[in-house]
Amino acid sequence: MLKGLRDFLFRGNVIDLAIAVVIGAAFGTVVTAFVKDLLTPLIAALVGQPDFSALTLSLHNSVFRYGDFVNAIISFALIGTAVYFFVVVPVKAVLDRVQKPLEPATQKCPECLSEIPIGARRCAHCTAVLVLTAVR
């Protein structure tokens, strides 16, 4: 029974998942600090109110603290924007530069327009003789 547990724990995908969770938590802390310490004060300097948590609405002796909700929405939008511009865009640019486009494995027959392999000399559908294209 312990051997099965050991095999499960040391399988590659379990360790990869544990590492991803730890790195994700650390990255979440960095992004939250970036938004809280840099972006929120910047917006507060532009708008004039750094914290909306004091905003409330009283209705029939009930107090609705909608300011906390406004803070959460602003924080969510700022975190999403920061992740997009500082993670998604740079990673996409690097992947676009590194990855090469896939070369097609088929071509269209000029006679019947069916898909045939790039190196084919004759169409399997209409038996037309093909001019051999340069194999890449």
Radius of gyration of the chain from its Cα atoms, rounded to whole angstroms: 29
Classify domain 2-98 by CATH number: 1.10.1200.120
- What average pLDDT score do residues 75-91 get? 84
136 pLDDT higher than 60 = no
Q: Which residues contact 30 (CB under 8 A, 6 or more apart)?
A: none
- The strand ranges marked E within the chain are 57-59, 62-64, 106-108, 115-117
Residue 50 has what pLDDT? Answer: 67
Residue 44: closest CA among 75, 5, 2? 75
Q: Tokens 């990855």 correspond to what residue?
A: 99
Comparing 52 with 85, the larger pLDDT belongs to 85
133 pLDDT higher than 60 = no
Q: Report the predicted TM-score, pTM, of the whole model to 2 decimal places.
A: 0.50
Residue 18 — pLDDT band, cuts 50, 70, 90? confident
Q: How far is CA 47 from the centre of its chain?
A: 31
CA–CA gap between residue 136 and residue 125 (Å, rounded): 24
